[in-house]
Amino acid sequence: MGWQDELRKNITTVEELSRYLDIARREKRCLEEVVARHPMNITRYYLSLVNKDDPEDPIRRMAVPSVDELDLSGFYDTSGELANVKVSGLQHKYTQTALVLATNRCPVYCRFCFRKRLVGLPTKEVARRFRDVVDYVKSHEEITNVLISGGDPLILPTKLLEGFLKELSTVNHLRYVRIGSRVLATFPQRILDDPALVEVFERFSHGGKKVYVVTHFNHSRELTQEAKEAVAKLFKAGVVVYNQAVLLKGVNDNPDTLASLMRGLVSMGVVPYYLFQCRPVKRVKKRFQVALEEGYWTVEEAKRRLDGLAKKFRYVMSHRTGKVEIVGIHGDHIYFKYHQAADPYDTGLFFRRRLREGAGWLDDLDDIIQRRLGRSTSQTPPIPCVG
């Protein structure tokens, strides 16, 4: 059976889910209301990782709908994505990086998804013609890398991915391509059961533009034997693999769990890259967001348990103004630094804001108090780092 056949067996209705998990009749009605607003899609592989005896199981929490998703606090476009669309499916927020939304589908529709406005739903935000995307990249020589995202781009047919990579390989000023994907965590069969995809990666990594896969493991229980074998296949093909996780309430918001994840990643050769603050997305914020103060101390306590590459990751938030690193807390202030900024001149800007109890996002804090370090307003903006 091929990987596409396996996906057709996904759990997509509450009725079907109730055959595997204990769901009360009253809860079923509520969950059906949730699924009517944002669809459910769970691979049988990922469902097999759930501890059926634990209603607060972290894997279950990430994949199974909750009545908390009826809460509409927050907003849908938390990072200002729509404001940075240049052609259909392409965003150009950071000078050197083009972000491509290649699809609105994923093997599993994660309940904490920050693109809940489009994943699994009809949308005009994904790329309609890859040719338009490539033409835009070719006409902007400042772009050095393309990040292919979605949805999950690895759900696309291998031939389609191959064609897109082939087009991108003709762009002289492009140095590498990143693919953001959660299939290694939710559906490693995509890699294990399709040698043609691995061959495509090998061909482009060795003979075209270097391919990086940015995975998305959030909990050490996702680091299964199947996941490790899939990662090993990517390594053999010459693909560099990084991980970005999200700090999620009830999933990985304690130091031991977070440290276990980072240790496991490094043990299998995957470098921890980012730990994202959960975005205040409607139908996500109430259930998953951890307060910034709590998040900072959780990260610091986790790092005390780690060594070397396992503590390499940065704790950041993807704000509409840029990628903001949460640097420290002292007294009643929290300190930030723009790791990357929509305005290139702000990259590297160090600033602070007064702490507010329960604040989970930059906008929840008091007005900015900031200063530029070692740079006058007359200086030329530095070349920004890669986003």
pLDDT band at 384 (very low <50, low <70, confident <90, very high): very low
> What is the pLDDT at residue 370?
52
| Predicted local confidence at residue 368, as pLDDT | 53
Q: Is 385 a residue whose pLDDT tops 60?
A: no
**Segment 170-189 mean pLDDT:** 98
SS3 assignment for 47-77: HCCCCCCCCCCHHHHHHCCCHHHHCCCCCCC
Average pLDDT over every residue of 285-293: 98
H helix or E strand, kind and range, residue 207: helix 195-207
Q: How far apart are CA 167 and CA 129, in angstroms?
A: 12
Provide mean pLDDT across the span 58-85: 96
Those residues whose C-beta lies under 8 Å from the C-beta of residue 314, and which sit 6 or more positions away, are 273, 274, 275, 325, 339
Per-residue pLDDT band for 356 (boundaries 50, 70, 90) equals very high
CATH of 82-327 given 3.40.630.30, 3.40.50.720, 3.20.20.70, 3.40.50.300: 3.20.20.70
Task: Kindly state the percentage of the chain with pLDDT values over 70.
Answer: 95
Cα–Cα distance, 222 to 49 (Å, whole number): 8
Model confidence pLDDT, tens digit, residues 5-55: 999 999 999 999 999 999 988 899 999 999 999 999 999 999 999 999 999
Residue 122 has pLDDT above 90, yes or no: no
Asked if the model's pLDDT at residue 379 lies above 50, the reply is: no
Averaged over 77-97, what is the pLDDT? Answer: 96
Token pair 């929290």 in the structure block, residue: 334
pLDDT in tens, 297-345: 999 999 999 999 999 999 999 999 999 999 999 999 999 999 999 999 9
How high is the mean pLDDT of the chain? 94
pTM for this predicted structure: 0.93
Inform me whether the pLDDT recorded for 386 exceeds 70.
no
